[in-house]
Chain A
Amino acid sequence: MSAGTLTRRAAILAGFGGAGALIWNVNNLTLNPSFTRVYQTVEDWTRISQRALQRTGGLAPEYTEADISPTFKPNGTYDPGGDEYNAHVAQNFVNWRLKIDGLVSHPLSLSLADLHRLPARTQITKHDCVEGWTAIGKWTGVQLGLLLKAAGLAPNARYAVFHCADNLTGEPSKGGEQSPGQYYESVDLIDAFHPQTLIAYALNGKSLGVPHGAPLRLRVERQLGYKQAKYVERIEITDSFKHIAGGFGGYWEDRGYEWYAGI
């Protein structure tokens, strides 16, 4: 038996032992806090490679009226409820304001009427839920880039953080239940200024219904459903989202989902 054979044998045994240990401990590894670093590295590979490929254009496919889902499934919060939101529903959202503040030179406070006066974009796109289902709908709204240009971004602006009116309870996770929390989301400026990124006020030609985020929701078409924040009342421009809620940039991100939801 040569030394080469011995090292080869040791390497094979180590490989199989490692693989066996990985499979045997997969639940514990999943619950280990350092697993976060592993999946964030993988998320970086995905983000960097998708962003590189998207440089050649990168518009989300748009569909025709014939492709629209007969029923657009709502998910997450179906009705934020509460006295304040219920009052807005009763008044048909005439007093709803969309605030844009943070690292901007002209903070804005826009009513629905203000938004309706701005140039509108209508797009028929698919909504891809992280769970696996798809619904196709026709969205009408104002390009977020237009609003951000009007607000004037500071040189150190990096993210748009969307603060929402809904408080959401979680789903089963890590063998338990997740904590409830105020919904929020964030995108970077690449997606914020993407031509298909809208602050939408209509679905399939009608004002947004309560289950779909009335009166305003985000559409960021190259990412999954949980990025499409509903009931948006404030857009905060920041250089970081570490100080907000759990620090991962969104309600689901704080509960283990990827911040870059391109896949």
Chain B
Amino acid sequence: MSLLKNTAVASDIAVPPDRAVERPGLIASLGRKFGKADQREAFYRHRRAVRITHWINALCILFLLGSGLNIFNAHPRLYWGQYGADADRPFFSINTIDRNGGTYGETQLGPWHVDTTGFLGWSKQNGNYVARGWPDWLTIPSFQDLADARHWHFLFAWILAFNGLVYLGWSLFSRHLQKDILPTASDIKAIPRSVIEHVKLKHPSGEAAKRYNPLQRLAYLGVILLISLMVLTGLTMSPGFNAVFPWLLEIFGGRQSARSIHFLSAFSIVLFVTIHLIEVVLAGPINEVRSMLTGVYVVPKDHQK
């Protein structure tokens, strides 16, 4: 303990000048561990507000997705426009159909129909096949229950909204959003090269690893916009809210369009989370997860030197 306390921030450990020196102990210890030996350095990457809101957000998204799929099962059809119900044509639907004495799950997208027995439309719940859109292992709660799924959904929707406002407010105030997330002109120019680097699974090293790369910036900005879109389309489905901001209905082209955009945005967030987790694994899961827990990130060796 005294060892760490007495260790001043070593000269080879970078601390961005705009950031308060936080966690000098951990920076020093990681810096010594990885520092001179193989030219790695530790630096304070994620500030506390980012770390806390990140994990709260992750929990909210997990619950909102699970409960959202349970809610979706109450009417597993998507429409475009102001109205849409059983007699109207959906562009996407999950159906349970009886054919030749058997029951099947079938998923429709536009003109295409795919047999999804066992997954969508007809899947096992407690050992027995049941007619339900998304299977029990994907929904919250696992049994089909619109009322309770809505309770979980709105509980975490409120938490997500508060957490999101704290994050956005803090990010604007501390200029995290402007400096770290918004792509600069040179980031935009570097997009093609960044795409090639990502395809080759090459990650930035040295000084370049201390800032978010162009695709990373676009992805984080994108997910902030997607979550905002989720909140707005969610509110557009609310008849109480429609009476306050009827123009939201016009922006999204109706309650059913808003519901479909809500679903498609959720799907896009799943895509983001998948790539996000793959990148965490590729970039070094221990270092990445540690940085989102403690704030301290160890910059990989600069292989361009």
Contact = CB atoms under 8 A, between A and B. Distances in A.
Interface string A215-231: 00000011110000000
B244 A56 contact: yes
Contacts of B59: 19, 22
A263 B83 contact: no
B87 A223 contact: no
Interface residues of A, number: 60
Contacts of A69: 83, 85, 87-88
A128 B239 contact: yes
Contact of B148 (A46, A128, A174): A174
A126 B240 contact: no
A57 B242 CA distance: 12
Which among B75, B86, B140, B150 has the highest number of chain A CB atoms within 10 Å?
B150
Given A30-B152, A134-B83, A222 B145 contact: no
Which of A12, A38, A131, A255 has the largest count of B CB atoms less than 10 A from its CB?
A131
A134 B84 contact: yes
Contact of B25 (A5, A15, A22): A5
Given A63-B82, A73-B86, A42 B244 contact: no
A263 B85 contact: no
A205 to B, nearest CB: 18
Nearest to B4: A2
B157 to A, nearest CB: 9
Interface string B51-87: 0000100010010001000011011010100111111
Contacts of A38: 151, 155
Given A1-B1, A54-B243, A173-B147, A26 B82 contact: no
A129 interface: yes
Residue from the set A22, A71, A128 with the largest chain B CB neighbour count within 10 Å: A128
Contacts of A193: none
B86 A50 contact: no
Interface in A41-100: 42-43, 45-46, 50, 53-54, 56-61, 63, 67, 69-71, 73
Contacts of A257: 147, 150
A172 interface: yes
B91 interface: no
Interface in A151-192: 171-175
Contacts of A35: 148, 151
A256 B149 CA distance: 11
B148 A30 contact: yes
Contacts of A53: 241, 244
A109 interface: no
B96 interface: no
Contacts of B175: none
Contacts of A262: 238-241
B259 A132 contact: yes
Nearest to B259: A132
B49 to A, nearest CB: 15
A239 interface: no
A85 to B, nearest CB: 25
Contacts of A59: 243
Given A70-B87, A174-B148, A129 B75 contact: yes
Nearest to A3: B1
Contacts of B254: 134
A151 B29 CA distance: 79
A132 B74 contact: yes
Contacts of A2: 1, 4-5, 25
B256 interface: yes
Contacts of B72: 132
Given A135-B85, A257-B147, A26 B158 contact: no
11 contacts: A26-B140, A35-B151, A60-B239, A71-B87, A132-B72, A132-B75, A133-B256, A172-B144, A174-B145, A175-B143, A257-B150
Given A50-B238, A69-B87, 16 more contacts: A26-B141, A39-B155, A42-B154, A46-B158, A54-B240, A58-B244, A60-B243, A63-B82, A71-B85, A71-B87, A128-B237, A129-B85, A134-B85, A221-B239, A261-B239, A263-B240
Interface of A: 1-2, 5, 12, 15, 19, 22-23, 26-27, 30, 35, 38-39, 42-43, 45-46, 50, 53-54, 56-61, 63, 67, 69-71, 73, 126, 128-136, 171-175, 221-224, 252, 255-258, 261-263
